[in-house]
Amino acid sequence: MNLIQSFSVDHTAIVPGIFVSREDKLGNSAVTTYDIRLKRPNKEPVIDVAAMHSLEHIIATTLRNDPVWKDEIIYWGPMGCLTGFYLILKNNRSPEEIYELVLNAFKSVNDAKEVPGATPVNCGNYLMHNLEMAKFYAAEFAGYLETNAKNPEIFNYPKSNRLALDDKTLFYDS
């Protein structure tokens, strides 16, 4: 079984940032998946689950209501490892081109008075939200993005180098 693309990233070298995870062609259209990484994997504590859930609701709502981008938003959701989110957009753009979109989405969390859709009718786990912690993580990441806007490291995915065996099979464990 082939290892999926997101597992070929060197998680020991990745820093918080905005990265192209994969680009796909769907017929005549292009779709890009972005890795929006808030925490250093295996080095920093992960994002609190309830805060992650609140960030998902608030930012998904913000993105899907953005007057410029709403028609290009396909998906916004958390990574299973709780270190970031995936954003899927129509078309292919560089991380630098979506920097303002991502920055503004995280800044918008500070203005939230409540978590949109946090009701039993709209959410599968409506009691698992933490708006104040979501605001904390959003402000932390927005500040980081602003401080590092000119740092190319926050836009370039560190790919892992894998040993290839004689039969061209890639070696993934040591």
pLDDT per position as a tens digit, 121-133 = 999 999 999 999 9
Least trusted range by pLDDT, from 68-72, 115-119, 160-164: 160-164
Give residue 173's pLDDT band: very low, low, confident or very high (50, 70, 90): very low
Average pLDDT of the segment spanning 81-92: 97
In this prediction, residue 168 carries a pLDDT of 60
Per-residue pLDDT at 174 exceeds 80: no
In this prediction, residue 10 carries a pLDDT of 83
Tell me the per-residue pLDDT of 7-25, one tens digit each, with 9 for 90 and over. 677 888 899 999 999 999 9
3-state secondary structure labels for all residues of the chain: CCCCHHHHECCCCCCCEEEEEEEEEECCEEEEEEEEECCCCCCCCCCCHHHHHHHHHHHHHHHHCCCCCCCCEEEEEECCCCCEEEEEEECCCCHHHHHHHHHHHHHHHHHCCCCCCCCCCCCCCCCCCCHHHHHHHHHHHHHHHHHCCCCHHHCCCCECCCEECCCCCEECCC
Average pLDDT of the segment spanning 83-102: 97
In this prediction, residue 114 carries a pLDDT of 97
In this prediction, residue 34 carries a pLDDT of 97
* Portion of the chain with pLDDT greater than 70, in percent: 87
Greater pLDDT, 3 or 10: 10
